[in-house]
Amino acid sequence: MSTRFDESREVGGIDLLDSRLERQPPVREVARLDVLLRSRAALGLAPAAAPGVIFLPMGMLFGPAGLGVLSPELLGYLTPAVSVGLATLGVFVGLGLGPLRKVDRRLLGASSLEAGLTILVVAAGMWGVLGLVPEVAGDSLAFTALAFGIVASASSAGAAEVSNLPAHRAATRVADLDDVLPVVGGGVALAWLRDPSPDGALWLTLLSVAIAVLVAVAGWLLLDRRSAGPEHVAFFAGLLLLLGGAAEHLSLSALFMGMVAGVCWAAAPGGRHEVIRKHLGRIQHPVVVLVLLVAGASVRLDTVALWLMLPFVLVRLAGKVAGGWAAARLAAGAPGSLGWFLVAPGVIGVAFALNAEMALPGEAAVLLTVAVVGSVVSEVIAVFLLPRLERRR
């Protein structure tokens, strides 16, 4: 991993677009709209003019449930591109993980503890709620409850980067790594759903790892420090197509396979990860926008999904507070109120819900709807919550 966290963000790191945007002053009560439009608070996206809190509702507006511009047929044509986009987000997570230094392993433990407790709290809460509407989960109640927990666990640390407060900086460091456990858990969960037997799920998980490692080895052989020409860009695009295409064909997690490949590239000798990071920097914003637009357009609003959204947001808040409190015991300099700074959702949660819907068409529709609407609501809560937290510091 890079020695500087702000250069190795899994989503929305410094690139040619971000470097042209000036850092904003600390969040103030009168600047809430500016936070929505200019900060990294929106689902992990780096500072930009229209972040994810805009793109998710925009996708809903232009999707089949809205104006119909993004018709079901068009969304079907976009499926391969979305699979590649999900694999690309996984590569971001893997590169951000990288070969950890000793101090970073402690931070990874704190971040994983925070994410793990959030998953447990949300899964337990949603298990009870889903028992009231058994038709939503069907025969896979355990998977559905776990999937809600995975969706809820990703964070973007809110508007942490527009403040110099130690609590904000600690939240940013934790949010940088709390996507690792959800991506791994999501990969195992989709394999388990494909084959409920322990041996079958393990085999599919190992198959995902093997394919990702083979693609990573191919990339290591094709790319080097001088790989900056158009032909090398084509090579790298082909690697992402392999990852996304294999995941789509097997109905497994493109996020997980991308993360495994990213870890391999970050750990491999020869400086390939810097070349790959440079290539990814050119496409990170379009990829995030594509995933968020398609996720929003894929929403199917109904009474049950909207009813589930409220308990999902509430148990996610509880999970983040509990997880943040526990992580603060391991992360140096983190306050006990760390969880409140992690209320803003991360793009990986929405991406996993979209991945599940693609792997299980129709079966994960409620999960995706709750993930999208709940993420927007959580983002709005974070925007109003962070100024009050800042005044208390």
Q: What domains are there in the chain, each with its CATH number?
A: 7-392 (1.20.1530.10)
Low-confidence ranges of the chain (pLDDT < 50): 1-50, 102-103, 158-162
> DSSP letter at 26?
P
For 369-380, give one letter per residue: b (16+ CB within 10 A) or e: bbbbbbbbbbbe
pLDDT of residue 207: 94
pTM of the model: 0.81
If residue 22 lies in a helix (H) or strand (E), which one and from where to where?
Answer: none
pLDDT of residue 183: 93
E strand residue ranges, the chain = none
pLDDT digits (tens, 9 = 90+) for 345-386: 888 999 999 999 888 777 788 889 999 999 888 888 877 776
End-to-end CA distance of the chain: 30
pLDDT of residue 342: 80
pLDDT of residue 34: 44
Distance CA 314, CA 311 (A): 5
Residues 6+ apart with CB under 8 A from 266: 1, 94, 95, 97, 98, 99, 273
Q: What are the phi and psi torsion angles at 278 (to 5°)?
A: -65, -45
pLDDT digits (tens, 9 = 90+) for 328-340: 777 666 666 677 7
* Closest by Cα among 335, 341, 323, 345 to 385: 341
CA distances from residue 312 to 179, 315, 341 in whole angstroms, order as listed: 19, 5, 18
* Closest by Cα among 363, 359, 280, 296 to 90: 280
